[in-house]
Amino acid sequence: MVRTTVIRKNRYLDSVFLMLVARRIAAQPGIRDASALLATEANRQVLAGMGYGENGRDAEFAAAGPNDLVLALEGEAAAVAAIAADADAWLSRGPEASPGAAREPRTIPEAVSGRPDCSLAVISVPGEHAAREARLALQAGLHVFLFSSNVSVEDELSLKTEASKRGLLIMGPDCGTAYLGGAGIGFANAVRRGPIGIVGPSGTGLQEFSSLVHQAGSGISNGIGTGSRDLSDAIGGISTLMGIEALEADPTTQVIAVISKPPGTVTTARLLERLRRCAKPVVLCLLGAECGAIADLGSPLPGGDPGTLRFAGTLDEAVCLALGALGLPEPTQLRPDPEALRRQAAAVIEKLRPEQCHIRGLFAGGTLCYQSQAIFRGAGLVVHSNAPLQGMQELPDPWVSREDAFVDMGAGLFVEGRPHPMIDATLRRKRLEQEGNDPKVALLLLDFILGAISSRNPVGDLLGAIRGAREAAQQRGGQLCVVASVCGTDGDTQDLQAQTRALQAAGVLVFPSNAQAAAFCREAMKLLAERKEGR
């Protein structure tokens, strides 16, 4: 294997397009990994950590600056050389415009001038430039979907304060998903329109919830992502509260679901006070909140109507409660029998070698990693994580698992200057191979997330590594139990049923949701603990 970089001076392309370029290149025969990014200091450090430019041998890479574009390639020598020789073709958006064709706008004012009917700007530029572009969009009277991450807390608060004064909504920064007026934005699944509105900072939470609602036969009116920090006390829930206001006023929304990790203490009180005043039924799903704390939160305000506010501990429960508020039956597949799960887990455990005692979870969705930890914590089970829930242990080195571990592969460390694992599974595939070589691993827990801009074949990206890990365990005389869920709908281009069948054909246990996959693993780990204790 060889590594090389190709530099294009003073060349800018947006981050989503560069993610897609990297994904296409990485899928080529002989290419093991590819990155396409701007040579900011942070991105250069990431590439250096991956072995590019070692010992100063790549002078052009060493001299690259934040306005320069870097294409980093790893693979077989001939394949790398072929891509590098044709780099400009890979970085091209398509054929050149014909003579007389309108020039693509380069600024937000130019875009607004060409399309004055638009009401939303989608911004995906490096974080250090994102706040400036968002302000230009606000000044043009546009709502903002801010896909960019690495925007400072100070800029986020300033943007959201200005937006609220203008009656505009900032979704983000680090906002992955939204459903507005029937259109999906970012990592969105193909879901039918319906009476349930969603708001919250959990991107994959919005995807999982909306997909399960769709599968149950209902639909989504609007889904408003708010950015991962919106409900922190530093921001105060500005976008979330505006989103609730918008959904309450929306005649197509009959039930509102708020999906989040536990908010900051001050913001929690503000959020609950607003939800208890809501004229429509509300389901509040605070993933990872202690059951006792949720019960305390449920105490009514003087003169309030506690019957309109319902609390859910998992996304599955949130879907059931939302459907129930509409008078619809809850899907039976979202209420599994715990005893049936335990019997299924027992059949797996008896095939494992005595030394197999650990679980490793590798998640593309941060919300699903968090939910899985909450399900384990509810049973008194502790795991290590790079994004630990309260009561869990932090991984000293996120690149190396220890004992039982759940890893959010979409966390900033893994995506700095790289495509998200929902787009490019290279790092997750390497990590899966690493976990599969550990003879103490009994279970692997995975999520696969379909939808717009996600990989065209999320299961296929990892299928070889899954098979390899299971074969390695068999050669050691044991079995490796791989457990998965697939987030998506029958309308997604990746084909939900085909993705599920491919996993099942490889011997993977596939569950209807992440919550159920985690619940199965919880029962299996409880049985492993009992086996260790000789019970």
pLDDT in tens, 231-249: 999 999 999 999 999 999 9
Identify the burial level of 225 via C-beta atoms within 10 angstroms of its C-beta, where 0-12 means exposed, 13-18 middle and 19 or more buried.
Answer: buried
Q: How high is the pLDDT of residue 300?
A: 43
What are the counts of helices (DSSP H) followed by strands (DSSP E) for the chain?
20, 20
Sign (positive or negative) of CA dihedral 298, 299, 304, 306 = positive
Q: Where are the alpha helices (DSSP H) in 476-513?
A: 496-505
- Of the two residues 533 and 319, the one the predictor is more confident about is 319
Which one-letter DSSP state was computed for residue 279?
S
Please provide the average confidence, as pLDDT, over all residues in the chain. Answer: 88
Provide the percentage of residues in the chain whose pLDDT is more than 90. 62
Q: What was the pLDDT predicted at 97?
A: 42
pLDDT score recorded for residue 503 = 97
Neighbours of 329 (CB within 10 A): 10
Tell me the two tokens of residue 370.
């968090």
Give dist(CA 409, CA 420) in Å, integer.
8
Residue 65 is given by DSSP the state -
Integer Cα distance of 23 and 20 in angstroms: 5
Q: Lowest-pLDDT range, 111-125, 131-145, 188-202, 411-425?
A: 411-425
Look at residue 196 and give its three-state secondary structure.
strand
pLDDT tens-digit readout, 293-340: 554 554 444 444 544 899 999 999 999 999 999 999 988 888 888 889
Residue 292 has pLDDT above 90, yes or no: no
- Of 50-54, 74-78, 234-238, which has the strongest mean pLDDT? 234-238
- The verdict on whether omega for the bond into residue 251 sits within 30 degrees of 0, i.e. cis, is no
- Please give, one letter per residue, the 3-state secondary structure of 223-245: EEECCCCCCCCCCCCHHHHHHHH
Tens-digit pLDDT profile for residues 241-284: 999 999 999 999 999 999 998 899 999 999 999 999 999 999 99
Q: Say how far apart CA 369 and CA 354 lie, in whole Å.
A: 27
Give me the mean pLDDT over the 21-49 stretch.
82
Confidence of residue 117 (pLDDT cuts 50, 70, 90): confident
How many Å apart are CA 283 and CA 275, to the nearest integer? Answer: 9
Domains of the chain: 2-90 (3.30.70), 105-174 (3.40.50.720), 192-334 (3.40.50.261), 338-532 (3.40.50.261)
Q: What is the DSSP letter of 447?
A: E
Q: Alpha-carbon distance 69 to 6, whole Å?
A: 8
Phi, psi of 146 (to 5 degrees): -100, 95
Q: What is the dihedral of CA 497, 510, 435, 344, to 10 degrees?
A: -160
Among the ranges 33-42, 55-64, 216-225, which has the highest mean pLDDT value?
A: 216-225
Contacts of 68 (CB under 8 A, 6+ apart): 7, 8, 9, 10, 11, 38, 39
pLDDT of residue 388: 93
Q: Which two tokens stand for residue 91?
A: 């970085």
DSSP 273-286: HHHHT-SS-EEEEE
Q: Name the one residue in this structure whose structure tokens are 């550990």.
A: 438
List, for residues 346-402, the tens digit of each pLDDT value.
999 988 999 999 999 999 999 999 999 999 999 999 999 999 998 999 999 999 999
pLDDT band at 136 (very low <50, low <70, confident <90, very high): very high
pLDDT of residue 420: 85
Residue owning tokens 């991984």: 395
What confidence score (pLDDT) does residue 296 get? Answer: 52
Tens-digit pLDDT profile for residues 447-494: 999 998 898 899 999 999 999 999 999 999 889 999 999 999 999 999
Rounded Cα distance, 204 and 207, in Å: 5
pLDDT in tens, 17-28: 787 788 789 889
What's the pLDDT score for residue 254?
Answer: 96
Residue-level pLDDT at 98: 44
| Cα torsion angle, 29, 438, 436, 386, sign | negative
Phi/psi for 303 (5° steps) reads 80, 0
DSSP 471-484: HHHHHTTS--EEEE
- The yes-or-no verdict on residue 495 having pLDDT over 80 is yes
Question: If residue 358 lies in a helix (H) or strand (E), which one and from where to where?
Answer: strand 358-363
Q: How many of the other CB atoms lie within 10 Å of CB of 57?
A: 9
